[in-house]
Amino acid sequence: MSSPAWNPGNLEACLFDFGGTLDSDGLTWQDRFYALYEKHEVRVDREAFRQAFYASDDSLTETGALEGAGLMETLQAQAERVWNGLHLNGERDPLGTIITDFLDGMRWHVERNRKLLVRLRERYKLGIVSNFYGNLDRVCEDLGILDLFDCTVDSSHVGVVKPDPRIFQAALDRMHIRPDQAVFIGDNPGRDMEGAKGLGMPHIWLAGEDTERRRPCCPGDPVIATLDGLEPLLLDGQAPIQGEEAR
C-alpha cells in the first residue's frame, strides 16, 4: 500500500516514534551509547557492541523486566546488560558517566522538542507509537512530556512491534481517526516509514544530519534533520522539505 499524496490540510493527528525521534535527532539508543563508549575511551568492537545491545534489548522486552520502571532505571538496566554482555574487565566507573551523559543528552533534546510539541498540540492530536519495554508512559512522565500526548502505544502492551501495521492501527483506533488523517514522524526507514506506508499513513522521516541517506521511501515524502523541521510543514503550511533542502 502506498501513502496518500502529502496534504497537511487533511491531518488531524501527529504520531511520533519515541527513541531516536523525540529524544534525539535521528540517532538510535545503540548509536548514542556507542558514541559515548568512544568518548570515554572504552574500546569495544562495533559489531560486538551491536550484538550485545540487541541481546540486552531483547532480554528486557521478553522478560518484562522494565514493566512500569522509570527513566533512570531503564537506562541503567540497558547499559549494564550491554556492559556485562561485552565481558568488559576492570573498573565500571566509566559506565556511570556514560549513563549520565546519555541522560543529559536525552533531556536536552526532549526539552527543546517540548516547545514544538506544545505548539503542535494546539492544532493536532498527538500520539506516540514505540517499540518499547512496557514502561513508555512512565518514561515519558519522567521526561515531563506525557501530558502532551492524547495516546501512547507501547509494543510490549499490544503484542506487536513496528513495522507491523497493527501497532499503528492501535493508535488510530484510540484516537478515532483514519490513517490518512494522521502523519507519522520517525527516524527508522524500515520500522517507521515502511510501517506507516503499509497502513497508507503519510509519514515524515527524521533523518538527522546524514545527508547521504536522505532518500524518502515514497515520492514527495518530507525529510527533516530535526523536529523543528515540522514547523513549516505542519504549522506554517509550506511545501514538503526533501533531501538536501532539509538542512
- The per-residue pLDDT for range 69-100, each reduced to its tens digit, is 999 999 999 999 999 999 997 778 899 999 99
Residue 214 pLDDT exceeds 90: no
- pLDDT tens for residues 14-36? 999 999 999 999 999 999 999 99
Confidence of residue 231 (pLDDT cuts 50, 70, 90): very high
C-alpha cell at 186: 520517525
Residues 89-117, mean pLDDT to the nearest whole number: 94
- Give Cα 8 to chain centroid, integer Å: 22
Quote the pTM value.
0.91
The Cα 194–Cα 117 span in angstroms is 24
Look at residue 89 in the predicted model and tell me its pLDDT.
76
Residues 50-67, mean pLDDT to the nearest whole number: 96
C-alpha cell at 110: 526532549
DSSP 239: P
More confident residue, 213 or 243: 213
Which segments within the chain are labelled E, that is strand? Answer: 13-16, 125-130, 151-154, 182-186, 203-206, 223-224
- pLDDT tens for residues 118-162? 999 999 999 999 999 999 999 999 999 999 999 999 999 999 999
Confidence of residue 237 (pLDDT cuts 50, 70, 90): low
The Cα 99–Cα 45 span in angstroms is 19
- pLDDT tens for residues 156-194? 999 999 999 999 999 999 999 999 999 999 999 899 999
| Beta carbons within 10 angstroms of residue 66's beta carbon | 20
Instruction: Taking each helix axis as running N to C, give the angle between helix 29-39 and helix 71-85, from 0 to 180 degrees, rounded to the nearest 10.
Output: 70
The Cα 190–Cα 105 span in angstroms is 25
Residue 3 pLDDT exceeds 60: no
